[in-house]
Amino acid sequence: MKPYKLIAIQECNEPLLPIPPEKFSFVLPHPYEKLGAPYGEKSPFYLREGVLTCLLTAQESLHEKQPGWRIQIFDAYRPIAVQQFMVEYTFREVAEAQGLSLANLTAAQRQTILEQVYEFWAVPSPDPTTPPPHSTGSAIDLTLVDETGQPVPMGSPIDEMSPRSFPNYFAGSEGPDEQQFHRNRQLLREVMVTTGFEQHPQEWWHFCLGDQMWAWLVNQKNPGMAAIARYGAVA
């Protein structure tokens, strides 16, 4: 179990609200819906009320630093059924990339692949004490687009399962392109963290506010603070 899953949750019952499309850029068609993920009547472009308020502030901060630029939403609210779907989809992708047949996997091979998948994907747990971050409506995957609507280069795509996804992967690079990737990632981090979000240690695109991971990261920065989560899973 990942350490942030041990954080207590005291649900605040804030509603899920739609992210206003006029304020942000959306990745459309939505990548997981396109794969067939079972959202049903739900939408990936929803957040808890307090999280959405902070995201709007982050967009204002970005506009002050880079007029015309917008935060682009890749994914926000994710029902547990969608989390399960994406874990299974990624498992198949990893197995196929390694030339393995799903029907003939050994127990050891299956465990190895699961460990690789769960390094980047949260367990789709139905346990109310250990919800997947996105299923709480308080985690968001995002990037930036410039004044022309073109994606700002970040050096790796969202959801890439490699060390390039680590936020500071390009920090020590000497090449001009790699240095720019790092500056762009730092800009994204700055506008998000200064408005209350915390960044996933291994994903430059993932930010959270009020969930278990957020509380755990806050506590790592402030030993003895004992922050708890205020958002649990939303059905």
Which of the residues are catalytic? 203
Q: Which distant-in-sequence residues (6+ apart) come within 8 Å of 187 by Cβ?
A: 62, 65, 66, 144
Interstrand relation of 139-145 and 206-208 (parallel, antiparallel or unpaired): antiparallel
Three-class DSSP category at 26: strand
In this structure, the number of other CB atoms found within 10 A of the CB of residue 77 comes to 26
In this structure, the number of other CB atoms found within 10 A of the CB of residue 215 comes to 24
- The sign of the dihedral angle between the CA atoms of 115, 117, 120, 126 is negative
Q: Which two tokens stand for residue 194?
A: 């200064």
Q: Which two tokens stand for residue 79?
A: 């029902």
- Residues paired with residue 108 on neighbouring β-strands, in sequence order: none
